[in-house]
């Protein structure tokens, strides 16, 4: 029974990683850059929801919506101010800018909201579902997290596979020049990708802090790095890869904590990553298309 309960916590933690990893992987797919500030956007989203729902005790739905709005704007502004001017710069310059943006957001949060931890009130309360005569209890937040993750996955699959904008996004991620020759506005498409990724980050932030209620300016940092790992693990640039990578990473982390060592659980996660990348350098579902010439 404890195995089952660990598996469930692994899947729900992994679902959060997956939602964050989607932001990394979509942005990487289209802008070919690693947006290391993505983890900190999560933190900003969590603060937005905290102020609305915990501090002022307004409805939770409003808190989540405001968080999504704030993060969407933030993501688009970050792209416009920090990354767009570097569109033709070396990838190293963009990477350093992204790391700088990450620290900027953390420090700005520290100035505005201090580094004292805030206690985030779970958006679904602390109810739980008892099964097998109380032997297995599944928390409401775990159920909500997994359900949200499934809805997001289905939504994105529909969006990229069926809508004009979504297909344009795939076209841009494959060949920006050719996409422009189709009449696609590449800059607008990149902005939209940042907007979607950041809105997802807000959701991830709310779910994360509902699960682990301590909110600080550095809250997004470690989950951000883990989600980046998950995106690479699943194959960066691939949307199903981010989902699979995120969930597997969550399961490995929780199992590592439960059966091996709490201290070593992060190390185990990264060892698994290294082994996977040695065997399959493009990640689990990574794309290695042979270009025809």
Partner 1 sequence: MLKVNDINVYYDAIHAVKEVSLEVNEGEIVTLIGANGAGKSTILQTISGLLRSRTGGISFMDENIGAMAPHKIVERGLAQVPEGRRVFLRMTVKENLEMGAYTQKASGVPDDLERAYALFPRLAERRKQVAGTLSGGEQQMLAMGRALMSHPKLLMLDEPSMGLAPILVEQIFSTITEMNREGTTILLVEQNAQMALSVASRAYVLETGHIVMQGDAHELAGNEDVKKAYLGG
Strand partners, 119: 214
DSSP 89: S
State the nearest-atom distance from the C-beta of 180 to partner 1, in Å: 4
Nearer to partner 1 by Cβ, of 110 and 187: the residue is: 187
Q: Which is nearer to partner 1, 167 or 280 (CB)?
A: 167
- Our CB check for partner 1 shows the closer of 174 and 266 to be 174
For partner 1, which is the closer residue by CB, 133 or 183?
183
Count of residues that bind partner 1 according to CB under 8 A: 23
Cα(96)–Cα(90) distance, integer angstroms: 10
d(CA 141, CA 147): 10
Report in angstroms how near the CB of residue 109 gets to partner 1 at its nearest: 36
Which tokens in the block code for residue 245? 């990578």
| Sole residue written with tokens 């109380």 | 134
Per CB under 8 A, does 254 bind partner 1? Answer: no
Q: Does 186 bind partner 1 (CB under 8 A)?
A: yes
Q: Closer to partner 1 at the Cβ: 76 or 186?
A: 186
The H-or-E segment that residue 74 falls in is helix 60-78
Angstrom distance (rounded) from CA 154 to CA 39: 23
Task: Identify which of residues 134 and 177 has a Cβ nearer to partner 1 in the complex.
Answer: 177
289 in contact with partner 1 (CB under 8 A): yes
| Residue 128, SS3 per DSSP | strand
Please state the closest distance from residue 115 (CB atom) to partner 1, in A: 44
Q: Which of 61, 131, 175, 259 binds partner 1 (CB under 8 A)?
A: 175
- The correct pick among 182, 222, 260, 264 for binding partner 1 (CB under 8 A) is 182
The 3-state DSSP composition of the chain as helix, strand, coil percent (nearest 5) reads 75, 5, 25
d(CA 286, CA 155) in angstroms, rounded, equals: 21
Distance from C-alpha of 280 to C-alpha of 293, rounded to nearest angstrom: 25
| Nearest-approach distance from CB 289 to partner 1, in angstroms | 5
Q: Rank residues 134 and 164 by Cβ distance to partner 1 and give the closer one.
A: 164
Cα distance between residue 198 and residue 192, in whole Å = 10
Query: Residue 142: which H helix or E strand, with range?
Result: helix 140-162
To the nearest whole angstrom, how small is the minimum distance from the Cβ of residue 79 to partner 1? 17
As measured in angstroms, the least distance from the Cβ of 104 to partner 1 is 30
Of the residues 6, 80, 170, 280, which one makes contact with partner 1 according to CB under 8 A: 170
Q: Give min distance, CB of 165 to partner 1, in A.
A: 10
Cα separation, 85 vs 187, in Å, equals: 11
Q: Are strands 214-215 and 136-139 parallel, antiparallel or unpaired?
A: unpaired
Q: Which of 92, 132, 279, 291 binds partner 1 (CB under 8 A)?
A: 291
Select the span of 62-70, 172-180, 222-230, 266-274 touching partner 1 (CB under 8 A): 172-180
Structure tokens at 226: 């883990």
For 182, the 3-state DSSP assignment is: coil
Q: Report which of 59, 49, 28 is spatially closest to residue 206, judged by C-alpha positions.
A: 49
DSSP state for residue 84 in the 8-state scheme:
G
Binding residues for partner 1 restricted to 150-169, rule: CB under 8 A: 164, 167-168
Name the residue nearer to partner 1 (CB basis): 263 or 291. Answer: 291
Interaction site with partner 1 (CB under 8 A)? 164, 167-168, 170-171, 174-175, 177-186, 287, 289-293
């Amino acid at each position: 029974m404890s195995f089952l309960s660990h598996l469930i916590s692994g899947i729900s933690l992994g679902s959060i990683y997956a939602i964050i990893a989607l932001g990394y992987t979509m942005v990487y797919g289209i802008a070919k850059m690693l947006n290391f500030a993505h983890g900190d956007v999560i933190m900003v989203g969590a603060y937005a929801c905290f102020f609305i729902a915990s501090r002022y005790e307004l409805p939770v739905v409003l808190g989540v919506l405001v968080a999504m709005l704030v993060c969407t704007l933030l993501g688009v502004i970050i792209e416009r101010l920090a990354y767009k001017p570097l569109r033709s710069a070396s990838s190293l310059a963009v990477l350093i800018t992204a790391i700088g943006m990450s620290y900027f957001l953390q420090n700005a949060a520290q100035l505005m909201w201090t580094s004292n931890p805030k206690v985030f009130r779970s958006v679904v309360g602390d109810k739980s579902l008892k099964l097998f005569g109380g032997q297995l209890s599944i928390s409401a937040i775990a159920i909500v997290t997994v359900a949200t993750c499934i809805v997001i996955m289905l939504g994105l699959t529909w969006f990229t596979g069926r809508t004009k904008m979504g297909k344009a996004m795939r076209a841009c991620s494959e060949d920006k020049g050719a996409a422009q020759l189709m009449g696609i506005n590449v800059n607008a498409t990149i902005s939209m990708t940042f907007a979607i990724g950041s809105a997802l980050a807000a959701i991830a932030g709310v779910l994360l802090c509902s699960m682990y209620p301590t909110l600080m300016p550095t809250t997004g940092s470690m989950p951000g790095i883990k989600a980046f790992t998950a995106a690479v693990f699943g194959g960066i640039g691939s949307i199903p890869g981010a989902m699979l990578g995120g969930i597997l990473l969550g399961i490995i982390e929780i199992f590592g904590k439960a059966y091996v060592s709490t201290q070593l659980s992060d190390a185990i996660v990264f060892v698994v990553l290294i082994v996977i990348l040695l065997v399959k350098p493009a990640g689990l579902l990574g794309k290695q298309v042979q270009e025809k010439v």
